[in-house]
Amino acid sequence: MAEKPSLFENVTKQVDKAADLMGLNADIRLILSKPTNEIVVHFPVKLTSGKIEMFTGYRIQHNSVLGPYKGGLRFHPAVNRDEVRALAAWMTWKTAIANLPYGGAKGGIQFDPADYSEEDLERITRRFTFALGSNIGPEYDIPAPDVNTNAQIMAWILDTYLSMQAPQQRQNNFHVVTGKPIEAGGSVGRDKATGQGVVFLIDRWAQDNQFELGEATYFVQGFGNVGSWAAKLMKPHGSRLLAVEDASGAIYAPEGIDPDDLSEYLESNHLLTDYPKVQSIDHEMFLATQADIFIPAALESQITGETANLLRVRLVAEGANGPTTPEGDHILIEQGIALLPDVLCNAGGVVVSYFEWLQNKRSEFWDLDMVDAKLHKMLMTAYDRVFWTASEYDTDWRTAAYIVALKRLERSYIRRGIFP
């Protein structure tokens, strides 16, 4: 069997294409080709059974020239150094495109949280936070939720981090993580932010392409935070959800699936494939769903040299990070399928994380209208930047998005110079 390609190599290929086209300064290309810090921690946890287990956690800090490191934490068996490196680099490009004062980082623990009780998850999360120690911090590196992590996990990280500070310092450190529950310093609108951003951008794309969302059909891979919110927020536009896939399998209903009803069904511990009144379909059939829009919102490397040819859509809106490989990209371009690339399309999460961070720093509390209006404005500006760059360089949207990011990073490095 062919060896699985390195995810970080995929990111490097994407960057190289953009860097060649824009003529990126060679020194800056060299600096950006490696993450700044790679923290690997092996830590013991005493589980509720009394058994001690060892875990491996990562925090990779790719770049901080534009501000503190920022990026999610993932709990998944596939978490490894290569994957986290790639995800950290994507955060650097994403924050630069959205014009946020942040760098890029990512982290996680290599394990399957489904195998552990809620109480053990809390122990693992707290012990990981302790092991990371001062490698995270509110003005240094700020984690957030990602695959299999949520507001509850962020609350445990916050509480553990604060417990590690002197009592006099605790109130100044609430912005050490974002995506927290509202009761623990979170922001309204953060839970839905990534899905909301995906839908704001799809709507904008539809307007620019004289495309009626009220008559559109779409399908979603992954029905967790990003996928379920994106689907629920497409509903008011009148678009019809034809198929959904998650880790348990895929379902299809030509007359449409109600995303609110499906969400409620899954919240009470049901399996997606047991959802009534739909057909179960296999992975290939799922990808071949005839629809207008595909929203991948699960894991990396789903649209590849082998699978991209199956797609029969007009637009791919990447809710997930890295769902398309360079070979997959090539096919999408050849087929004339439009793309809202991950570094633009799923930036809503980090934008509202930034709002949460600001609210914590300023002891403010914004309402949902304000959060949504500011999110919309920032994403439309980012969309415009990518749109104009794609026209200027006559290139695809992923490459254009990378050029936007690389130019901002290049300007900053050139102004500051390289020490010594």
Q: Could you say which of 298, 315, 331, 371 contacts ligand NAD (CB under 6 A)? A: 298
325: Cα separation from own chain's centroid: 16
Buried b (16+ CB within 10 A) or exposed e, 28-54: beeebeebbeebebebebeeeeeeeee
- Considering the complex, state which of residue 40 and residue 247 has its C-beta at the smaller distance from ligand NAD: 247
C-beta neighbour count of 76 within 10 angstroms? 18
Q: Does 11 help bind ligand NAD (rule: CB under 6 A)?
A: no
Distance CA 369, CA 382 (A): 20
Q: Measured at CB, which residue is nearest to ligand NAD? A: 224
- Considering the complex, state which of residue 218 and residue 413 has its C-beta at the smaller distance from ligand NAD: 218
Q: Which of 106, 180, 192, 232 is catalytic?
A: 106
Q: Could you say which of 146, 329, 372, 410 contacts ligand NAD (CB under 6 A)? A: 146
Site for ligand NAD in 228-247 (CB under 6 A): 245-247
- Considering the complex, state which of residue 226 and residue 386 has its C-beta at the smaller distance from ligand NAD: 226
Site for ligand NAD in 330-349 (CB under 6 A): 346, 349
Structure tokens at 111: 């394990």
Neighbouring residues of 273: CB distance < 8 A, sequence distance ≥ 6: 248, 249, 250, 251, 280
In the chain, what's the furthest Cα-to-Cα distance? 66
- Considering the complex, state which of residue 189 and residue 222 has its C-beta at the smaller distance from ligand NAD: 222
Structure tokens at 89: 């680099």
Q: Does 324 help bind ligand NAD (rule: CB under 6 A)?
A: no
∠ CA 235-376-403 to the nearest 5 degrees? Answer: 110
Whether 51 is catalytic is no
Q: Kindly indicate which of the ranges 48-56, 251-259, 291-299, 388-396 contains the residues binding ligand NAD, using the contact rule CB under 6 A.
A: 291-299
Q: Kindly indicate which of the ranges 48-56, 97-105, 254-262, 318-326 contains the residues binding ligand NAD, using the contact rule CB under 6 A.
A: 318-326
- Considering the complex, state which of residue 7 and residue 226 has its C-beta at the smaller distance from ligand NAD: 226
Nearest approach, Cβ of residue 37 and ligand NAD (Å): 20
Residues in the interface with ligand NAD (CB under 6 A) total: 23
- CA-CA-CA-CA dihedral for 70, 75, 80, 81, to nearest 10: 20
Phi/psi at 62 (5° precision): -80, -50
Distance CA 361, CA 338 (A): 39
Distance CA 286, CA 166 (A): 53
Q: Does 319 help bind ligand NAD (rule: CB under 6 A)?
A: yes
Nearest approach, Cβ of residue 249 and ligand NAD (Å): 9
C-beta neighbour count of 418 within 10 angstroms? 9
- Considering the complex, state which of residue 205 and residue 229 has its C-beta at the smaller distance from ligand NAD: 229
The residue ranges that bind ligand NAD (CB under 6 A) are: 145-148, 194, 221-227, 245-247, 297-299, 319-321, 346, 349
Residues classed as catalytic: 106
